Amino acid sequence: MARALQSGRSEVDVIITLEQTNSTAAETPVTHEELVRFFSVLSHDLKSPIFAVDGFSELLLSDYTDKLDEEGQDFLRRIRSSSQYMKKLLDEMSHMVKLLARPNASKPTPLREVVEEVLLKYNFQIEEGGVRVDMPDEMPTVNVDPEKMREAIGAMISNALFYTDRPKGEQQIAIECSSEGANVRFCVRDNGIGIDPRYANQVFELGGMSKLDKSRGGGPGYGLYLAKRIIESHGGTLTVDTALGEGSTFCFTVPS
């Protein structure tokens, strides 16, 4: 049972089903609003049994510990941990669906401020890993949706932090930003594990990085998928330049 709860595949399957429904239902097209309502109902229905599993497992751990051996207690702790993880995933997916569904609320947004907010969010991981982060002192202001841009840049930086095999103190992340004619180009470069170029485009699919490196576990793997959708909704592009064992550079361009 614990293994089944820890498999972590259902959250990706749910989003894939939503995406396929939206793209293949030619005769009866599904609107974004309908998808959001559908997922809200689905999320609510899924949370109820998950809360029950979490609640009953907590009761068993607190009231029946003396009736369980160490292995039984370990199973219950795993069940509870998995149920809490599933609740977190449902919250994150609900946020993702609603974010993609709503129109962009674009306004002049200083990219430097967005990056600083993202780095603050991941400050613990950066400090714990002794990660060196280099970034320019000045970055341009662009007309984007600030909340969505935080998600996109956050996915790029999170990916750089997570997919590495460097020992503590040797991990490096370089953030680059420049104006190129009518566009702004923003890049996150890392010295992590890299990706086989044959599969590079798969990182922008749902569950992309998680599928390419299953040994690391992690979340549902929709960060870069979400980032690509966000950048494209702003009239830009998101690409990756990478080589296995040599790190990756994720870059997007958006109109300035």
Reported confidence tier of residue 4, pLDDT bands at 50, 70, 90 = very low
**Higher pLDDT residue, 37 or 171?**
171
**pLDDT for res 30:** 58
**pLDDT for res 221:** 60
Verify that 114 and 43 share a domain, yes or no: no
User: What is the domain count for the chain?
Assistant: 2
> Has residue 10 got a pLDDT over 60?
no
**Higher pLDDT residue, 25 or 247?**
247
Verify that 96 and 179 share a domain, yes or no: no
Verify that 25 and 136 share a domain, yes or no: no
Distance (Å, rounded) from C-alpha 42 to C-alpha 47?
A: 9
Domain C-terminal end among 52, 77, 101? 101
* Token duo for residue 94: 């609900």
Which distant-in-sequence residues (6+ apart) come within 8 Å of 149 by Cβ? 109, 111, 114, 142, 230
- Beta-bridge partners for 177: 186
Verify that 173 and 91 share a domain, yes or no: no
How much of the chain exceeds pLDDT 70, in percent?
A: 79
Reported confidence tier of residue 210, pLDDT bands at 50, 70, 90 = low
Distance (Å, rounded) from C-alpha 219 to C-alpha 175?
A: 24
**Higher pLDDT residue, 126 or 213?**
126
Verify that 134 and 217 share a domain, yes or no: yes
Verify that 120 and 163 share a domain, yes or no: yes
Mean pLDDT across 250-256: 93
Is this prediction's pTM over 0.85?
A: no
Reported confidence tier of residue 35, pLDDT bands at 50, 70, 90 = low
Distance (Å, rounded) from C-alpha 59 to C-alpha 48?
A: 17
Verify that 155 and 216 share a domain, yes or no: yes
Verify that 204 and 129 share a domain, yes or no: yes
End-to-end alpha carbon distance in the chain: 52
Verify that 142 and 224 share a domain, yes or no: yes
Verify that 119 and 53 share a domain, yes or no: no
Which distant-in-sequence residues (6+ apart) come within 8 Å of 101 by Cβ? 32, 33, 35, 36
Verify that 91 and 134 share a domain, yes or no: no
Which of these ranges, 42-46, 58-62, 140-144, 173-177, has the smallest mean pLDDT? 42-46
**Higher pLDDT residue, 7 or 47?**
47
**Higher pLDDT residue, 26 or 29?**
29
Distance (Å, rounded) from C-alpha 241 to C-alpha 19?
A: 26
Reported confidence tier of residue 109, pLDDT bands at 50, 70, 90 = very high
> Has residue 25 got a pLDDT over 90?
no
Which distant-in-sequence residues (6+ apart) come within 8 Å of 134 by Cβ? 172, 173, 174, 175
Verify that 231 and 115 share a domain, yes or no: yes
- Report which secondary-structure segment, H or E, holds 231: helix 223-233
Tell me if 157 sits within 8 A of 205, measured CB to CB: no
- What CATH number did the domain enclosing 17 receive? 1.20.58
- What CATH number did the domain enclosing 251 receive? 3.30.565.10
Distance (Å, rounded) from C-alpha 129 to C-alpha 6?
A: 26
Give the distance, in angstroms, between the CA of residue 58 and the centroid of all CA atoms in the same chain: 29
Q: Where are the alpha helices (DSSP H) in 28-145?
A: 32-63, 70-101, 111-121, 123-129
Instruction: List, for residues 116-143, the tens digit of each pLDDT value.
Output: 999 999 999 999 999 999 999 999 999 9
Tell me if 250 sits within 8 A of 159, measured CB to CB: yes
Domain C-terminal end among 86, 101, 116? 101
**pLDDT for res 212:** 55
Average pLDDT over the chain, rounded to whole?
Answer: 81
Tell me if 216 sits within 8 A of 163, measured CB to CB: yes
Domain C-terminal end among 51, 83, 101? 101
Distance (Å, rounded) from C-alpha 7 to C-alpha 86?
A: 10
**pLDDT for res 203:** 86
Supply the range of the domain harboring residue 12: 2-101
Angle between helices 32-63 and 10-24 (to 10 degrees): 170
